[in-house]
Amino acid sequence: MQSLTPNRAPAKPAKKRRAEEEHVLTIGSSEFVTTGLPSRKWHDFYHLFLTIRWPTFFASVAGIFLLANTIFASLYQLGPHSIADQSPPGFLGAFFFSVETLATVGYGDMHPQTIYAHAIATLEIFCGLSGLAVITGLIFTRFSRPRAKILFAQFPVVRPIDGVQTLMIRAANARQNVISEASAKLRLMRTETTPEGYENRKLHDLKLTREQHPIFLLGWNLTHQIDASSPLFNETAESLMNSKANLFLTIDGIDETTSQTMRGRHIYGAETIRWQHRYPDLIVVDEHGINRVDYGKFHDVEPL
C-alpha cells in the first residue's frame, strides 16, 4: 500500500553567512564595534566623498579619471583604425585621445574616423560631462559646508563657585569672528541599572548657568551647578568611571560672515574630568592697559 504522505525533498544546508564587516566607533572613552550593517564605502558614495580628507578625495578623483580613460582607450583599440592620425601609435595614443575626448578639449590632430569610434566618443563625452557635473557639485558642497572652529578645553573641571560644587568647561572661538546668538547644550550619558536589574545607557540634560551667548567672539565658560537637582549630585570620579559616563557638549550659532549656522561638538570621558582644579586666566591687562589673551594656556588646569 502506497503511503499518502508526499515525498519531501531533502533539506538544503543553510547558506553560510558571509563575514560581516565590523565598524569601530569611539564615543568618549567607550569603544563600540558594530556588525550586521552594509559596507559604508559601497553603500553611500556621496557621504563617503563628503567626509574623506581632501588629499584622499583628489587621489580618488584622479584614480577614477585614469581608470575611465584606460577603459575607453581599450575600447578604441578594439576597433580597427578607429582614430585618424593617432600619435603615438598603439594604446598610448588611444589613451591621450581618450583624455582629450573626456575633457571635451578636441585639439583636432586626432579624431574618430569610423562609426564605431564615433559611437565610443559619444558615450565618452556623455560620461565626461556627467562626471564633471558630479565632481563640481561635490567640490562645491565640500567647500560650502559650514565649519566652526570652536576650541574646547581638553579637561572639564569641577570646583566650588559661590559655595556650590560646579562643573566648568571652557570654549573659545578660534576663528575670532562673530558667532551671534550662540547656544550651548550639555548632556550626560552613563550606564544605569534599574531595580529589576536591567542595565541600559541613559541620557541626562545638564542645565547650564547660561545657555545663550549673544556674541561668541573670544571665550565662554560653561558652568553647571552640581546641586540636589543635578544628575551629578553625589557623584565622584570613581562612580563616573564605573558608570562609563561621558559628557556631550554642543555649541550652535550663526556665523555673521556667511549667515550660516555653525556647530561645534566635543565628547569628554569621565577620566578627563579634573576634580578640584581651575582654569588659569587667559586675559591679562599689560602696562599699557591693553587686554591680552593668551590661548597658549587654554588647555591648562591648576589644582586648587
CATH number of domain containing 117: 1.10.287.70
CATH code of the domain covering residue 255: 2.60.40.1400
Q: Are residues 263 and 137 in the same domain?
A: no
Exposed / middle / buried, residue 121 (Cβ in 10 Å: 0-12, 13-18, 19+): buried
Closest by CA position to 54, among listed 145, 187, 168:
145
- Categorize the per-residue pLDDT at 5 as very low, low, confident or very high, splitting at 50, 70 and 90: very low
Strand partners, 212: 183
Residue for grid cell 550660516? 260
Q: Are residues 125 and 224 in the same domain?
A: no
For residue 301, what is the DSSP state?
Answer: -
Q: Average pLDDT, stretch 19-41?
A: 68
- Categorize the per-residue pLDDT at 278 as very low, low, confident or very high, splitting at 50, 70 and 90: very high
Strand partners, 203: 189
Write down the pLDDT at residue 154: 96
Q: Are residues 166 and 250 in the same domain?
A: yes
Domain boundary among the residues 144, 169, 193 is at 144
Cell triple for residue 299? 588647555
Residue for grid cell 545607557? 201
- Categorize the per-residue pLDDT at 7 as very low, low, confident or very high, splitting at 50, 70 and 90: low
Per-residue b/e over 289-299, b at no fewer than 16 CB within 10 Å?
A: eeeeeeeeebe
> In this structure, is the dihedral angle defined by the CA atoms of residues 264, 269, 275 and 277, taken in order, positive or negative?
negative
Q: Which comes out higher in pLDDT, residue 298 or 25? A: 298
pLDDT for 158 beyond 80: yes
Where are the alpha helices (H) located in 112-218, listed in sequence order?
115-144
Write down the pLDDT at residue 16: 44
At 219, the amino acid letter reads: G
**H helices, E strands: number in the chain:** 6, 18
| pLDDT tens by residue, 31-62 | 778 777 666 555 577 888 888 899 999 999 99
Cell triple for residue 63? 584614480
Write down the pLDDT at residue 14: 45
Q: Average pLDDT, stretch 175-195?
A: 91
Write down the pLDDT at residue 221: 94
- CA 169 – CA 249 distance, rounded (Å): 9
Q: Are residues 111 and 180 in the same domain?
A: no
**In a domain? residue 190:** yes
Domain boundary among the residues 144, 162, 182 is at 144
Q: Are residues 157 and 289 in the same domain?
A: yes
pLDDT for 246 beyond 50: yes
Least confident residue range of 16-20, 92-96, 226-230, 289-293: 16-20
Q: Are residues 90 and 122 in the same domain?
A: yes
Cα 187 to chain centroid, rounded: 20
Number of structural domains found in the chain: 2
Strand duo 179-193 + 212-216: pairing: antiparallel
- CA 186 – CA 180 distance, rounded (Å): 19
Write down the pLDDT at residue 126: 95
pLDDT for 93 beyond 90: yes
**H or E segment and range at residue 180:** strand 179-193
Q: Are residues 119 and 258 in the same domain?
A: no
Q: Three-state SS string across 35-49, please?
A: CCCCCHHHHCHHHHH
- Whole-number average pLDDT of the chain: 87
Write down the pLDDT at residue 40: 57
Residues spanned by the domain of 80:
52-144
Strand duo 30-34 + 83-84: pairing: unpaired
**In a domain? residue 86:** yes
Domain boundary among the residues 125, 144, 163 is at 144
Strand duo 157-161 + 274-275: pairing: parallel
Q: Are residues 155 and 299 in the same domain?
A: yes
Where are the alpha helices (H) located in the chain, listed in sequence order?
40-43, 45-51, 54-78, 91-102, 115-144, 237-242
| pLDDT tens by residue, 110-145 | 999 999 999 999 999 999 999 999 999 999 988 888
